[in-house]
């Protein structure tokens, strides 16, 4: 539970910073960023595996690049459900999703290097 809360907070901070930097993405306040991170976590756990399974032929045909489309779709679904989180277009969602994934993994690897080593064993 503690690890999940830390991931939520890292995701919320990264989403809030990216929304400030990127045009086309708007998050009203930090509390909304926390809600965005929680909903994104739930969508990643429930909806994303179903989408990956349903689009497996397209994912195989594009050598995995279709996963970026699925990530952008998850971001757009998140924006639909969370009031105060706006994404202007699919392309903004694609860029936001790719950068958010990159920065979340970067922060997690730098902040918790001992957990990364345990997971690799």
Residue 110: its pLDDT value, please?
Answer: 83
Residue 3: its pLDDT value, please?
Answer: 82
Residue 119: its pLDDT value, please?
Answer: 57
3-class DSSP assignment, residue 80: helix
Mean pLDDT, consecutive 10-residue stretches, the chain (121 aa), reads 86 94 94 95 93 92 93 95 95 95 90 64 54
Task: Return the half-sphere exposure (C-beta side, CA atoms, 13 A cut-off) of residue 98.
Answer: 11
Query: Would you call 27 exposed, middle or buried from its count of C-beta atoms within 10 A (0-12, 13-18, 19+)?
Result: buried
Residue 108: its pLDDT value, please?
Answer: 85
């Amino acid at each position: 539970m503690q690890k999940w809360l830390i991931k939520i907070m890292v995701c919320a901070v990264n989403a809030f910073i990216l929304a400030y930097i990127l045009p086309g993405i708007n998050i009203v306040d930090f509390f909304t960023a926390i809600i965005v991170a929680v909903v994104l976590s739930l969508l990643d756990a429930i909806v994303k595996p179903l989408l990956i399974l349903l689009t497996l032929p397209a994912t195989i045909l594009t050598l995995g690049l279709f996963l970026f489309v699925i990530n952008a779709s998850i971001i757009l679904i998140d924006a639909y459900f969370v009031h105060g989180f706006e994404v202007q277009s699919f392309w903004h969602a694609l860029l936001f999703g790719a950068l958010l994934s990159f920065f979340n993994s970067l922060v997690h690897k730098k902040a918790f290097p001992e957990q990364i080593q345990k997971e690799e064993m």
